A and B are shown apart, each in its own frame.
Chain A
Amino acid sequence: GAVVSQHPSWVICKSGTSVKIECRSLDFQATTMFWYRQFPKQSLMLMATSNEGSKATYEQGVEKDKFLINHASLTLSTLTVTSAHPEDSSFYICSAKGGGNTIYFGEGSWLTVV
């Protein structure tokens, strides 16, 4: 079946630095991918919609200059957390629609900012 892969699974970075998280659709093309964030013991919250070849669409309250999204190909979307701060520490998850119109999620990426 369709597989969505994220990298890295875990990352620790210093406050003020930038971190890039990749989301790949491994056996299908995805013109649209979605990025979610999840804090401990909370549900997933949609951050933005990543559109191949065009600008991402951000949800209300999500800073586009802080969370840079690039969808340069039909199989890859990247989320860059710029000037990361401890409050950005979270579980970041991407999703994409695979065969049969089923939506698949990546394994998630844990970000810890120290």
Chain B
Amino acid sequence: DAKTTQPPSMDCAEGRAANLPCNHSTISGNEYVYWYRQIHSQGPQYIIHGLKNNETNEMASLIITEDRKSSTLILPHATLRDTAVYYCIVITKDAGNMLTFGGGTRLMVKP
């Protein structure tokens, strides 16, 4: 699976949009971009995933660049409860269930 690079930490003001970048320059054509987050002392929570088109659900939006070498997770109106570590993971859907976690981005939403 392709390696991902994320900034170790970010701050965001409550109510503002949080834009979390992820670099995956070695991504291959059949690999998806998945985003999970982990709130302190809990198991990771699925947020969203995509292949090449931008995706949106009730939690977030995922913007994937045309060359697919990077993506951005957008939380449109961050709340204090969005404070968590966000993981960007690249994986093929038929590779099984294993996910390899990098360091992630620790997002701190401040009042």
Instruction: State the A residues within 8 Å of B (CB).
Output: 4, 6, 30, 32-34, 36, 43-46, 49, 91, 93, 95-97, 101-108, 110
- Residues B49 and A102 in contact, CB atoms below 8 Å apart: yes
Chain B nearest CB, measured from A64 CB (Å): 17
Q: Helix, strand, loop or mixed for chain B's interface?
A: loop
Q: Helix, strand, loop or mixed for chain A's interface?
A: strand
- Residues B46 and A44 in contact, CB atoms below 8 Å apart: no
| Whole-angstrom CA separation of A46 from B103 in the bound complex | 14
Given known pairs A43-B101, A43-B102, the reply for A32 and B43 (CB within 8 Å) is no
Nearest chain B residue, comparing its CB with the CB of A92: B43
Nearest chain B residue, comparing its CB with the CB of A91: B41
Instruction: State the B residues within 8 Å of A (CB).
Output: 34, 36, 38, 41-46, 49, 87, 93, 96-104
- Residues B43 and A107 in contact, CB atoms below 8 Å apart: yes
- Residues B45 and A105 in contact, CB atoms below 8 Å apart: yes
Contact of B103 among A33, A43, A103 (CB under 8 A): A43
Chain A nearest CB, measured from B27 CB (Å): 18
